[in-house]
Amino acid sequence: MTTSTRADFAAPKQPSRFNLSPQLRFAVTMTALTLLGLLVGVAGQYLLNSPAVMWGGYLLAYLAGGIPAGREALHSLFVERKLDVDLLMVLAALGAASIGQAADGAILLFLFSLSNTLQDWAMGRTKQAIGALMNLNPDGATVRRDGRERWCELNEIRIGDVLIVKPGERIAADARVTIGQTAVDESPITGESVPIDKVVGAELASGTVNLNGSVEAQVLRPAGESTLARLVTLMEQAQTAKSRTESLTERWESPYATAVLLLVPAVFALLRYAFGLSVDAAWYRAMTFMVVASPCAVVISTPAVMLSAMAAAARSGVLFKSSAALDTLARVQTVAFDKTGTLTQAKMTVTRFLADDEPGTLALAAGLESHSEHPIAQAIVGAAREAGVSPVPVRGAQAVPGLGITATLDTGERVWAGNLRLMTREGAALTPEQQAALDGLNAQGSSSVIVGLDTRVVGVMGVADTLRPGIAQAIADLREAGVAHPVMLTGDRQQVAQSVAHDIGLTEYRAELLPEDKLRIIGELPGPVAMVGDGVNDAPALARADLGIAVASGTDVAIESADVVLMQNDLGRLAGAIRLARDARRTVILNLSFAFGVILIVAPLAVAGQIPLPLGVVAHEGGTVFVVFMGLRLLRHRL
């Protein structure tokens, strides 16, 4: 343990999660104008009895809702060589207007525009996540090259340059220490909760933070090949692999739209020439068929359910970034957890204390550690504060890198606190009881601090990262919710992982993992797989998993990479979110079955002339209302 004089450093500026891209701003504007036009048109038709207001409103709705959909339809038709629902919806709206049902067409366009806007809202997270990750890199570094010190931009740093890294600075490139000693916060890369002491010959990873000493380190790899750059590459690969998954809508929309568009002229021709109907009568039935067959209820079935479920989840502190995330959560069979900051609080606390005079020994240790900002030291000072113990004044406190801290009491006695090597250097020895306590701490993976007075050991303390409150119950609730395989993935030591897994009831865990290892293991676990994490090192795994879940206390990189965010850092909400997601998925299946059922029953009757247009509209819009209300009932859920 070392004394730390960690300097404050500004957190990297992160992109706002509430910024709207130009594409999304356009989509929101068009949807709002479509709704406005619809409301004005309905008011003019039914309240004001004003044709001018009515047609002005409907014209606005048709232009605002139809132009974006028409543009997409033409792109699909001429560029991708396929028909899709965009074209069908535009033609159905125009068909409704041609037989005097402009309001029905406007409603059709608004609902379709709304669903497209919701999809656009979930896009663009890849660039934001990667941008947030890149912000962990400093702008540059002080470098010694050819015997001269100079400031270099990140892309100017070369292999063989010597980085001069001061306390509080981020390390700009992978390097090896040549001069000096320090402690480094590696949690952004490895997830290790305790700062790592670095001496001559130790390697430093880019993106980590130098805490308490000035060091010089020779660059091993340029910035473009650094640890942080590797994380960015992993993020890009994971996001690209995920985006290739084809959605259910994309699979059925083109065949369905093609079938309906081919059937409309066929219906008209059949009625006109085979059954001898007049042109007006055949056109009326064909347009009624198109309106009834347009998948308005089908299109709104999923958004109505997903929006309601997402709102219910948000009210309980679980934020879904897309409806696809909600659907994926309903099918999850494996949940993989990061340890530090996810299952634990990423806060060191004193877990065990053995001493003949506990208050006196704690006061002695606090007096020493009050001269350090090291997380272990702060844990000891905090324990003394909570116990109401005042630190003993000491003089000449001095850090011994890699060993601990020493000082002198006013009485002239030498006092020290640190590890076994410091104890040996001070000529002290453990009693059998103290040795047993130390062995127990090592078996649990806890960091140990030995407190001594001259050549006598007066106490042994265990310091460890504490578990989140209620985490064991949260794991049990997940199993009850149907998650078959909860597993912990961590960069921490094997002993630490084993102790944490035992305490929270996990039977499966993997320890001492790098980001690449987590990414590989995610691909090997039985799926669908959800990954829960909070750190930069978790970002590739969060993106690679079928579903990424981040706690809000984590880094912006993890939050941007994840599909779901636990806003109150409460993993106990996760089981409730899974139950809600599964209920939502069942409701979507019911809605789609109902919507298609209405089309299959009403469309043939419309062709046969048994369903007049007003009744067809009632059946069509009634189906829409039904699926919307089925979705709204999910608002009652509490996680």
Q: Around Cβ 187, how many Cβ atoms within 10 Å?
A: 23
User: What three-state secondary structure class fits 232?
Assistant: helix
Residue by residue, DSSP assigns 552-620 as: TTS-HHHHHH-SEEETT--TTHHHHHHHHHHHHHHHHHHHHHHHHHHHHHHHHHHHTTSS-HHHHHHHH
Q: Report the candidate in 174, 498, 435, 483 with the shortest Cα–Cα distance to residue 335.
A: 483
Residue 509 contacts residue 486 (beta carbons within 8 Å): no
Residue 185 is classified by DSSP as E
Residue among 338, 465, 492, 563 flagged as catalytic: 338
338 assigned to active site:
yes
Q: Is the dihedral of CA 295, 301, 307, 310 positive or negative?
A: negative
Tell me 345's DSSP state. E
Longest Cα–Cα distance in the chain: 117
d(CA 448, CA 452): 13
* Residue found by looking up tokens 């009757």 in the block: 605
Helix axes 279-293, 85-98, angle to 10 degrees: 140
Gap between the Cα atoms of 303 and 311, Å rounded? 12
The strand ranges marked E within 575-628 are none
Compute the distance between CA of residue 222 and CA of residue 320 in angstroms, rounded to an integer. 38
| Tokens matching residue 390 | 């005042």
Cβ–Cβ under 8 Å, residues 260 and 293:
yes
- CA 420-381-367 angle, to 5 degrees, is 75
How many Å from the N-terminal Cα to the C-terminal Cα in the chain? Answer: 43
Rounded to the nearest angstrom, the gap between the alpha carbon of residue 116 and the centroid of all alpha carbons in its chain is 22
Q: What is the DSSP letter of 220?
A: -
Nearest-Å Rg of the Cα atoms of the chain is 32
Task: Report d(CA 164, CA 404) in Å as an integer.
Answer: 24
Q: What is the Cα–Cα distance from 32 to 350, expressed in whole angstroms?
A: 56
HSE-up of 243 (CA within 13 Å, CB side)? 11
d(CA 479, CA 486): 8
- Catalytic annotation, residues: 338
